[in-house]
Amino acid sequence: MAGNLTEEEKKLNHVGDEWSDVNSLNEVIRDYIEPYVNSSFNVAEIGSGGGRVTTRVCKLTHAPKSIHCFDISKEMLKRAHEAVCAISTKVDVKYCLLKEDNSKGLEKFPGSFDFVYSFDVFVHMDLHTIWKYLNHIKVMLRPKGKAFVSTSNLMAPLGWNRFSKQEKFSVGGFYFVTPDLVRHLIHKSGLKIVKESKIDASNLYYNRDYLVVLERGED
């Protein structure tokens, strides 16, 4: 979820490709998205950006029936649409612009999704915003539905390294939190933790962020 694109970003296959190596991203999708998706699922992606994750999910062996891509940037949704159109997929992909407070619009989809994911997006959110989105995700999920999100992790080596070089939080920068704080918000939201990441120096994201799979109860 970002605003206007720079000239350098326009040259990339997908906006965000410059942020990590391909192997780290593919490993995250293999570990935290692929096991929780099948061909009968309706899926939502919060913060689809230029489609770098969307296109990979569309290519999964058991790709979902549909993906709703949500983003605050019309330009990013356009890039995501172009990226999806450039690949061969039977997935029904829809593009949804979020307005006003960045989450306005999510409330229109209660109990609509089997799986919701938001990767490399919550790292830019403060605790109040994370709390708001967790509550939206719970409402969006069907009973027993699952979600995957990733936040910053001040306790991880690369998380601390980035924090120590960043003078202050700014829009587009990282907002640093700890897993314990995020776990507390998850617990208060009524979601249940199914899987958590462990620090692993071989993967940029596992060595920098906190990744977690959540589940909504049966109500």
pLDDT in tens, 100-141: 666 778 999 999 999 999 999 999 999 999 999 999 999 999
Structure confidence at residue 171 as a pLDDT band (50, 70, 90):
low
CATH top-level class of 7-215: alpha beta
- The pTM score is 0.90
Q: Which amino acid is at 104?
A: K
Q: How many CB atoms lie within 10 A of CB 48?
A: 33
Q: What is the pLDDT of residue 20?
A: 67
Question: Which residues, 6 or more positions from 111, have their beta carbon under 8 angstroms from its beta carbon?
Answer: 139, 140, 141, 142, 143
Edge-to-edge strand order for the sheet containing 66-71?
92-97, 66-71, 42-46, 113-118, 141-152, 209-215, 192-196
pLDDT in tens, 53-65: 999 999 999 999 9
Long-range CB contacts (within 8 A, 24+) of 200-205: 201/157, 203/23, 203/24, 203/27, 203/28, 204/20, 204/21, 204/24, 204/158, 205/20, 205/24, 205/25, 205/28, 205/120, 205/150
Structure confidence at residue 7 as a pLDDT band (50, 70, 90):
very low
Q: How far apart are CA 27 and CA 119, in angstroms?
A: 13
Q: What is the pLDDT of residue 3?
A: 45
Structure confidence at residue 190 as a pLDDT band (50, 70, 90):
very high
Q: How far apart are CA 200 and CA 157, in angstroms?
A: 10
Secondary-structure breakdown of the chain: helix, strand, coil percentages, each rounded to the nearest 5: 35, 20, 40
Q: What is the pLDDT of residue 6?
A: 45
Domain ranges of the chain: 7-215
Per-residue pLDDT at 32 exceeds 60? yes
Mean of the pLDDT values across residues 41-49?
97
Per-residue pLDDT at 4 exceeds 70? no
Beta pairing partners, 196 = 212
Mean of the pLDDT values across residues 65-92?
96
213-189-44 Cα angle (round to 5): 50
